[in-house]
């Protein structure tokens, strides 16, 4: 095997060797480079850390497709996708800051330990300058903390829990995806319109962090407009049969069931609820309704027929008709043959946003990137006008309220957008209790050297 694969570290090292001669101990500490993994060759390495096995492997696979597409576009291949519609015009298709983009991949297994191990190997072994990906909040929070400590940027993938940019926010971490609070705030008015203001809600909540924050967000925003919460029951994450949890719902006088479940949990609980005939019941003189706060297309496909007419929220949907979404769906569809999911969309956006921030900052130094992204306003990435807020590194953009389609035309055409909730309605103060209160701070950016 004599193929030479030039890597960033390889080039760095060849240079170092030429200078230092043989067997010369060199100490690379803070003084050797200005920041962690500074790219000195003609390439820059990004680390794509996604779940390739485990319960979210589908989402992980879609994220990886989007990353590969983003790298292709950044390096000038393909049709450029959303680079053409992006409001910032710094990206020229010649890599980032003139350096060709290379990438390494890893498997998070949807476990914090495995995710950190693979992120560490990207940073220590492959010289990755930025880590991105993940499909659950536990992993996102764990890897974000690691990146803060190591001194590289973390661009979160699909993570919906408030904690990622709330209680556990970090200066080196950024989230494009929306969060539980926004879901609650966006859903409440739509629900009030559709179902009235004097409803009694019953919550079934997955017994872990994301479940708690989602329940809290939906409760607060629905109670604020007049709903009453009858009961909130926690269900084990590993539960596959929810009938024993659905039966008590029938006994209570609740007329709305909120399923704070995601992935396989949601598929099973929704199927059980529909099979129990909840939706055909009349309680307090009103039709019984079911709500799923966070929808994804992959999940909706799993639940099949049962999602028809059920409200939920989502970060992005491929049927949107703005220029950015159309360009993205087109180039993704041409490459892979089907429309992208919201996980693919958010990870593609994060990659472009990082690349653009590096261009505008003129450096890969994490502190420069942080400065360039904080308070950055942009448009053309499929969500309308968006702000990367400086206080918590959370993106603020319109939120989509969706509903299961009554007459789906294909396996991808399951959800329809009911309303686009304007960003003003989902904006909150960075110090509210749901986000960890005033104790939660970003800290300072860490360049790692």
Tokens found for residue 270? 């929704």
Our finding on whether 449 is near other proteins (CB under 8 A) is: no
Our finding on whether 289 is near other proteins (CB under 8 A) is: no
Q: Is the CA virtual torsion 383, 388, 391, 394 positive or negative? A: positive
Q: Which of 436, 410, 435 is nearest to 182 (CA)?
A: 435
Our finding on whether 327 is near other proteins (CB under 8 A) is: no
Q: Distance (Å, rounded) from C-alpha 279 to C-alpha 202?
A: 14
Q: Which regions of 236-357 does DSSP assign to beta strands (E)?
A: 256-260, 282-283, 286-287, 289-294, 311-314
Distance (Å) of CA 408 to CA 272, 294, 309, 414: 21, 19, 11, 5
Sequence-separated (6 or more) residues with CB below 8 Å from residue 366 = 35, 36, 151, 152, 153, 172, 445, 446, 447, 448
Q: Distance (Å, rounded) from C-alpha 51 to C-alpha 252?
A: 39
CB 186 within 8 A of CB 426: yes
Our finding on whether 11 is near other proteins (CB under 8 A) is: yes
**Among residues 44, 101, 141, 270, which is the contact residue for other proteins, using CB under 8 A?**
141
Distance (Å) of CA 95 to CA 298, 351, 358: 32, 12, 11
Polymer length in residues for the chain = 449
CB of 393 to other proteins, least distance (A): 16
DSSP annotation string for 229-248 = EEEEEEE-TT----HHHHHH
Our finding on whether 18 is near other proteins (CB under 8 A) is: no
Judged by CB under 8 A, which stretch of 102-110, 303-311, 407-415, 427-435 contacts other proteins? 102-110
Sequence-separated (6 or more) residues with CB below 8 Å from residue 356 = 86, 88, 90, 91, 378
Question: Closer to other proteins at the Cβ: 161 or 306?
Answer: 161
Question: Closer to other proteins at the Cβ: 84 or 121?
Answer: 121
CB 160 within 8 A of CB 180: yes
CB of 8 to other proteins, least distance (A): 10
**Among residues 59, 168, 216, 289, which is the contact residue for other proteins, using CB under 8 A?**
168
CB of 60 to other proteins, least distance (A): 8
**Among residues 343, 435, 446, 447, which is the contact residue for other proteins, using CB under 8 A?**
446
Please report, as residue ranges, which positions from 198 to 257 form the binding site for other proteins (by CB under 8 A). Answer: 207-210, 212, 234, 236-237
CB of 370 to other proteins, least distance (A): 12
**Among residues 34, 57, 97, 420, which is the contact residue for other proteins, using CB under 8 A?**
57
Q: Which of 42, 35, 62 is nearest to 51 (CA)?
A: 62
Judged by CB under 8 A, which stretch of 73-81, 353-361, 375-383, 438-446 contacts other proteins? 438-446
Our finding on whether 157 is near other proteins (CB under 8 A) is: no
CB of 141 to other proteins, least distance (A): 4
Q: Distance (Å, rounded) from C-alpha 161 to C-alpha 262?
A: 11
Strand partners of residue 57: none
Please report, as residue ranges, which positions from 103 to 132 form the binding site for other proteins (by CB under 8 A). Answer: 103-107, 111-114, 116-118, 120-121, 124-125
- Phi then psi dihedrals of residue 208, to 5 deg: -160, 180
Helix (H) or strand (E) holding 156: strand 153-156
Our finding on whether 390 is near other proteins (CB under 8 A) is: no
Question: Closer to other proteins at the Cβ: 141 or 292?
Answer: 141
Question: Closer to other proteins at the Cβ: 67 or 316?
Answer: 67
CB of 293 to other proteins, least distance (A): 17
Our finding on whether 371 is near other proteins (CB under 8 A) is: no
**Among residues 45, 85, 135, 137, which is the contact residue for other proteins, using CB under 8 A?**
137
Our finding on whether 260 is near other proteins (CB under 8 A) is: no
CB of 12 to other proteins, least distance (A): 9
Q: Which residues make up the interface to other proteins (CB under 8 A)? A: 1-7, 9-11, 13-14, 16-17, 20, 22-29, 52-53, 57, 103-107, 111-114, 116-118, 120-121, 124-125, 136-138, 141-142, 145-146, 148-150, 161, 163, 168, 207-210, 212, 234, 236-237, 439, 441, 443-444, 446
């Amino acid at each position: 095997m004599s193929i030479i694969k030039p890597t960033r570290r390889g080039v760095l090292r060849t240079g170092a060797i030429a200078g230092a001669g043989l067997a010369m101990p060199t100490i690379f500490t803070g003084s050797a480079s200005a920041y962690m993994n500074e790219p000195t060759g003609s390439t820059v390495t990004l680390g794509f850390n996604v779940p390739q096995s485990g319960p979210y492997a589908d989402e992980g696979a879609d994220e990886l497709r989007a990353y590969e597409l983003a790298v292709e576009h950044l390096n000038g291949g393909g049709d450029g996708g959303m680079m053409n519609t992006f409001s910032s015009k710094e990206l020229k298709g010649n890599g980032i800051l003139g350096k060709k983009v290379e990438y390494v991949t890893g498997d998070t297994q949807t476990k914090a330990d495995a995710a950190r191990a693979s992120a560490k190997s990207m940073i220590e072994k492959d010289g990755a300058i930025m880590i991105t990906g993940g499909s659950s909040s536990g992993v996102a929070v764990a890897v974000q903390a690691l990146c803060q400590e190591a001194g590289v940027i973390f661009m979160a993938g699909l993570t919906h829990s408030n904690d990622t940019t709330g209680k556990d926010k970090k200066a080196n971490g950024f989230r494009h995806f929306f969060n539980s609070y926004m879901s609650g705030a966006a859903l409440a008015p739509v629900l009030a319109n559709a179902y009235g203001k004097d409803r009694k809600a019953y919550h079934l909540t997955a017994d872990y962090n994301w479940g708690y924050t989602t329940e809290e967000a939906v409760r607060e925003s629905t109670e604020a407009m007049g709903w009453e919460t009858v009961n909130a029951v926690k269900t084990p994450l590993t539960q596959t049969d929810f009938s024993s949890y659905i039966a008590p719902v029938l006994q209570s006088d609740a007329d709305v069931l909120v399923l704070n479940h995601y992935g396989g949990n949601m598929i099973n609980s929704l199927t059980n609820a529909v099979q129990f005939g909840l939706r055909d019941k009349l309680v307090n003189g009103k039709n019984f309704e079911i709500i799923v706060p966070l929808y994804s297309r992959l999940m909706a496909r799993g639940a099949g027929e049962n999602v028809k007419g059920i409200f939920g929220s989502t970060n992005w949907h491929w049927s949107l008709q703005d220029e950015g979404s159309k360009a993205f769906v087109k180039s993704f569809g041409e490459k892979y043959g089907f429309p992208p999911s919201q996980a693919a969309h958010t990870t593609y956006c994060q990659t472009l946003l990082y690349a653009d921030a590096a261009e505008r900052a003129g450096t890969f130094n994490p502190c420069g990137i942080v400065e360039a992204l904080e308070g950055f306003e942009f448009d053309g990435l499929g969500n309308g006008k968006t702000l990367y807020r400086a206080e918590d590194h959370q993106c603020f953009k319109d939120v989509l309220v969706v509903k299961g389609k009554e007459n789906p035309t294909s396996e991808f055409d399951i959800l329809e957008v009911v309303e686009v909730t304007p960003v003003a309605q989902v904006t909150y103060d960075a110090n509210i209790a749901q986000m960890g209160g005033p104790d939660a701070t970003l800290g300072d950016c860490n360049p790692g050297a």
